[in-house]
Amino acid sequence: MQLARAVFAALAAVMITFSPDHSAAVGMAVFSGWAIANAIIFFVSVWLVYPAGARWPSVLLGIVTAIAGMLGGIPSWRTTALFFSVVIVWAVLAGVIETAAGIRQRRAAVEAGDPQRRGEARDSLTTGIITLVLAVGLLVVPTQYALEYYIQDAGQSFVLTGITIGVGIFGGYAAIIAVYLGIAGLSPRRVPAELVQTSPEGAASDQEKAS
User: Cβ(167)–Cβ(22) under 8 Å?
Assistant: yes
Mean pLDDT estimate for the chain = 85
- Please tell me the predicted confidence (pLDDT) of residue 143: 86
Side-chain-side CA neighbours of residue 45 (13 Å): 21
pLDDT digits (tens, 9 = 90+) for 158-207: 778 999 999 999 999 999 999 999 998 887 655 444 434 444 444 444 44
* Mean pLDDT of all residues in 38-47: 92
Tell me what pLDDT residue 77 has: 87
Residue 110 phi, psi dihedral angles, 5° rounding: -65, -40
Residue 35: predicted pLDDT: 97
